[in-house]
Amino acid sequence: MSSNYIGKDMVHYGSGIVLDPDAAYTLLDHSARKNIRKAERAGFVIERRAGTVAELRALRALWYFPDDPNFPTELSPSDHLYLAFLDGQLAGGMILVPVGSHLFLNNLTASETGKRYQLQGYLLWHAVNDLKDSRYRYIDIGVSYRVNLQRFFTKWSSFRYPVVFNPPELRPQIRFQPFAGLPDVSACDADVETLRSMFGRRRFTLVPSMDHARQVARAYAQCWVEDDSPYCSEDVQLLDLSRLWPIQYGALVLGVELGPQTLWDEFGCYDHFKTEYVLRCLQLPHWGLDEIAACREENFRTYRQFFDREDVEIAAPGAWVSAFEVSSADAGRLAARFARFGVEVRCDGDNLALPCHQLLSAQDIEYVYAIYRGHLNLCSEWRPTGVKGVMQLTGS
């Protein structure tokens, strides 16, 4: 049997506690509130310390695995070390590391005496009160794949967030194009009037691809724009239909109208059967522009609910949502990470665009955000220790 299994390739849920004592206390599990009172009665003295070599060495001795290569040997000036004492003896401690506007719970440990009085949770609660007026918004308590430790994290949480660390073997394919499979159009009739009515009866030419659309534009327009929005009002617009509908091919040249014979004679690109196929697809349910726009706007709001608490600048949506765009100093690294997980992105400097089409589910968007959270979580950079601990199943 293999002894080196490392999973972390499915979406799991981490916990955070807000640095607002009143709000955090309201959201605490009942047992966490009891543990606060129990630790208070024990009389622990908690101090914030600089993190000298001697202090870190003493705390390491209480760590579950004193030889852990990931345990810090020194702290930066922005790190936070809390040490707890009982009757003058070190009973536990906690290290918090800043990640943007929040703090990551890097280490939390206690002696057997400290554990008996629920000191680990009390250290967290002390930090919430101590840091309530700081620039930080919350403590990322973390996520665990051990049932008992995950239960501990959850009961202290103000909110939970999805996170995934490793790319799954079978990756979702999340692209800017909504195409995911072939629709059944056997009962649909081709009707060019449906397409004409969708675009305000503007003149148009339907061609097989964007490359052919550009050929037409170069020959018949002095200037043009390439825009994914069907609401664009430019005189000549090239619109990639594979970014608008779940379809494999097709592009529109809006503002230029050429007949089949001209397309064939001048560009050799008239395809009767693809044209008929696109027009038949437009008779399918849920392909109307207003319904698509509403779905994309809802998906944008779902993205926003996740990313609002992060250190990114979210671009306001336009009249037509073609992507969810954020600005981040880590955009380049994030783009590479998203690609490993099967998510197509566009990266331009600090700007990162994520797919936001109408066929994305809430679970798809959660997966995209979970990839981002895995980037933030500092334990993603830890080296495996080979220490498994004790498995404790739910209910045991």
Residue range 345-394, pLDDT digits in tens: 999 999 999 999 999 999 999 999 999 999 998 765 655 545 444 433 33
Q: Quick check: 243 and 228 in contact, CB under 8 A?
A: yes
Q: d(Cα 304, Cα 121) in Å, to the nearest integer?
A: 31
pLDDT band, residue 165 (cuts 50/70/90): very high
Same domain, 214 and 339: no
Q: What is the pLDDT of residue 381?
A: 60
Q: What is the pLDDT of residue 7?
A: 77
Does residue 392 lie within any of the structural domains?
no
Does residue 173 lie within any of the structural domains?
no
pTM score: 0.91
Q: What is the pLDDT of residue 377?
A: 86
Does residue 323 lie within any of the structural domains?
yes
Average pLDDT of the segment spanning 329-341 = 96
Does residue 231 lie within any of the structural domains?
yes
Same domain, 305 and 257: no
How far, in Å, are 1, 58, 69, 91, 376 from residue 73 at the CA level?
35, 11, 9, 19, 21
Same domain, 204 and 149: no
Average pLDDT of the segment spanning 212-218 = 98
Average pLDDT of the segment spanning 175-184 = 96
The predicted-structure confidence for 187-203, as pLDDT tens digits, reads as follows 999 999 999 999 988 99
Q: d(Cα 9, Cα 29) in Å, to the nearest integer?
A: 28
The predicted-structure confidence for 255-306, as pLDDT tens digits, reads as follows 999 999 999 999 999 999 999 999 999 999 999 999 999 999 999 999 999 9
Does residue 230 lie within any of the structural domains?
yes
The fraction of the chain above a pLDDT of 70, given in percent, is: 94
Same domain, 197 and 149: no
Strands of the sheet containing 323-327, edge to edge, are: 313-314, 323-327, 351-355, 346-348
Neighbours of 184 (CB within 10 A): 7
- Tell the residue number behind the tokens 């979970």, with chain if given: 370
Q: Which of 384, 356, 390 is nearest to 178 (CA)?
A: 356
Does residue 331 lie within any of the structural domains?
yes
Q: d(Cα 204, Cα 235) in Å, to the nearest integer?
A: 11
Enter the tokens of residue 198.
């969708």
Same domain, 20 and 147: yes
Same domain, 268 and 316: no
Same domain, 138 and 110: yes
Same domain, 25 and 112: yes
Domain CATH code at residue 95: 3.40.630.30
Domain that holds residue 159: 12-163
Does residue 171 lie within any of the structural domains?
no
Which of 263, 281, 299 delimits the end of a domain? 281
As a three-state string, the secondary structure of the chain is CCCCCCCCCCCEEEEEEECCHHHHHHHCCHHHHHHHHHHHHHCCEEEEECCCHHHHHHHHHHCCCCCCCCCCCCCCCCCEEEEEEECCEEEEEEEEEEECCEEEEEEEEECHHHHHCCHHHHHHHHHHHHCCCCCCCEEEEECCCCHHHHHHHHHCCCEEEEECCCCCCCCCCECCCCCCCCCCCCCCCCCHHHHHHHCCCCCEEEECCHHHHHHHHHHHCCCCEECCCCCCCCCCEEEEHHHCCCCCCCEEEECCCCCHHHHHHHHCCCCHHHHHHHHHHCCCCCCCHHHHHHHHHHHHHHHHHHHCCCCCEECCCCCCCCEEEEECCCHHHHHHHHHHCCECCEEECCEEEEECCCCCCHHHHHHHHHHHHHHHCHHHHCCCCCCCCCCCCCCC
Q: What is the pLDDT of residue 393?
A: 34
Domain count of the fold of the chain: 3
Q: Which of 104, 138, 152 is nearest to 21 (CA)?
A: 138
Enter the tokens of residue 240.
């990639």
Same domain, 255 and 155: no
Q: What is the pLDDT of residue 392?
A: 38
Neighbours of 204 (CB within 10 A): 20
Average pLDDT of the segment spanning 196-225 = 96
Same domain, 122 and 240: no
Q: What is the pLDDT of residue 388?
A: 46
Same domain, 128 and 27: yes
Same domain, 364 and 316: yes
Q: d(Cα 384, Cα 248) in Å, to the nearest integer?
A: 44
Does residue 156 lie within any of the structural domains?
yes
Mean of pLDDT over the chain: 93
